[in-house]
Amino acid sequence: MPVYTLPELPYDYSALAPVISPEIIELHHDKHHAAYVKGANDTLEQLAEAREKESWGSINGLEKNLAFHLSGHVLHSIYWHNMTGEGGGEPLAVDGVGELADAITESFGSFAGFKAQLTKAAATTQGSGWGVLAYEPLSGRLVVEQVYDHQGNVGQGSTPILVFDAWEHAFYLQYKNQKVDFIEAMWQVVNWQDVARRYAAAKSRTDVLLLAP
Ligand code: MN
């Protein structure tokens, strides 16, 4: 079976400056994201060992570790592509993003309302977590989720398409305790074309959840 691997960054460490410093990007990708990849692989090995030995004393911890590390890997893999040095602005003004812009307006009433909700959700995360824009397939709507750690407080089946990392490691070297300043600055580097691609892909793979018995 394939194991998880750390994806390469789609840009140089300095590509998102001054919104995010090169030092943060390097540490965040090369150390933090890498640790989640290793954690997911290590946990899969430990689960294989548990099956082999029929030794289930650590099952609760192992399942939690798998959810944590795998979700960390998934969210960071999206995060890097959600950002670009040429990003920002409102999606309506970006080529090829009209369908996503319409969905945001339909789901949240306005872009301003959506932006305020995602900013607030990310900036007020208690402890470690994320603010996430996700496609929810049962309603066909977009929703904002405030994710605990990497894996908690999410709606099952929803697909994250725009993720704001609100862990301290994402901003502290540069923004210190001003998490809200960091989240507000993040809007300057959003890669709307990437978010729009993810929206289209999420919409097209929802049938499995909608299957009737
Ligand atoms: Mn992170």
Averaged in consecutive runs of 10 residues, what is the pLDDT profile of the chain (213 residues)? 91 98 98 98 97 97 98 98 95 89 97 98 97 94 98 95 98 97 98 97 78 64
Assigned domain for 190 exists: yes
Assigned domain for 2 exists: no
> In the prediction, which pLDDT does 207 show?
63
Please tell me whether residues 75 and 153 are part of one structural domain.
no
What amino acid is encoded at 146 in this protein?
A: Q
| Residue 165 Cα to ligand 1 middle (Å) | 6
d(CA 46, CA 44): 5
> In the prediction, which pLDDT does 206 show?
59
Assigned domain for 7 exists: no
Please tell me whether residues 73 and 115 are part of one structural domain.
no
> In the prediction, which pLDDT does 119 show?
98
Please tell me whether residues 169 and 105 are part of one structural domain.
yes
| Residue 33 Cα to ligand 1 middle (Å) | 7
> In the prediction, which pLDDT does 96 show?
87
Please tell me whether residues 102 and 203 are part of one structural domain.
yes
| Residue 134 Cα to ligand 1 middle (Å) | 18
Total domains in the fold of the chain:
2
| Residue 83 Cα to ligand 1 middle (Å) | 14
| Residue 118 Cα to ligand 1 middle (Å) | 17
Q: What is the pLDDT of residues 88-145, one digit of tens each?
A: 999 988 888 999 999 999 999 999 999 999 999 999 999 999 999 999 998 999 999 9
Please tell me whether residues 102 and 202 are part of one structural domain.
yes
Residue 172, token pair as written in the block = 């502290």
> In the prediction, which pLDDT does 212 show?
63
- Torsion sign over Cα 163, 169, 175, 178: positive
Q: Which domain holds residue 35?
A: 22-81
Assigned domain for 9 exists: no
Please tell me whether residues 195 and 108 are part of one structural domain.
yes
CATH number of the domain that residue 55 is part of: 1.10.287.990
